[in-house]
Amino acid sequence: MSVDLRGWIRDVPDHPKPGIQFKDLTPIFAEPAAFRAAINWFDDQVLKRDPDVIAAIDARGFVFASPVADRLGIPLALVRKSGKLPPPVIRNQYSLEYEDLSAIEMRSDALSKGQRIVIIDDLLATGGTAVAAAELAEELGTYVVAQIFLVELAYLDGRERITNRDPDCEVVAHIVYD
């Protein structure tokens, strides 16, 4: 049975602030067939890239990446909001589309030099978090082969931000809003 995941995404106007059209993916989590379809899609995308490690971005990236890592037997590294991981950590500050400044962290022992990783998150908007996560991974000596998202808001140019920084990093999205 094929599931149209776009039909499970809800638009929430003016959230978290006026002028933002928020894409709510929580209905996908609430419907087992939709969630399974999303995980199956992520499985296929990760398998095609043959990574050593999956890095997941806090918090909804965890929801998608955890079952994929389990199913495929690939280690999972977490990229979390600042202050949530025990030391030792490395940190990166960056700007978001609706916040002035944010920071993410990764344990400094989460990845090993030379590993090929894919980064998974739910949604690509301006690419600030995605680029910050890639910078953390690369600081640890890894090679980011792909960033994989369920949804991309193409009109915010996040893909370009990622590929302008690293032309070799593949950007993959299942659902693209132009």
Q: Minimum mean pLDDT among 47-51, 84-88, 115-119: which range?
A: 84-88
Rounded to whole angstroms, the Cα distance separating 92 from 24 reads 26
Q: Are strands 21-24 and 10-13 parallel, antiparallel or unpaired?
A: antiparallel
Which residues, in sequence order, are CB contacts of 30 under 8 Å at separation 6+? none
In the DSSP assignment, the letter for residue 88 is S
CA end-to-end distance (rounded Å), the chain? 27
- DSSP string computed for 97-154: SSSS-EEEEEETTSS-TT-EEEEEEEEESSSHHHHHHHHHHHHTT-EEEEEEEEEEEG
pLDDT band at 98 (very low <50, low <70, confident <90, very high): low
The answer to whether the CB of 80 falls within 8 A of the CB of 58 is: yes
Which residues, in sequence order, are CB contacts of 129 under 8 Å at separation 6+? 57, 94, 96, 102, 104, 121
Could you tell me the pTM of the whole model?
A: 0.94
Query: Region 83-90: what's the mean pLDDT?
Result: 94
- pLDDT of amino acid 99: 61
Angle (CA) 88-90-95 rounded to 5° is 145
- pLDDT tens, residue by residue, 70-85: 999 999 999 999 999 9
Rounded to whole angstroms, the Cα distance separating 28 from 107 reads 30
Q: Are strands 116-124 and 53-57 parallel, antiparallel or unpaired?
A: parallel
Catalytic residues: 60, 97
Query: Region 142-149: what's the mean pLDDT?
Result: 98
β-bridge mates for residue 123, sequence order = 151
77: which 2 tokens? 């590294």
Rounded to whole angstroms, the Cα distance separating 83 from 141 reads 23
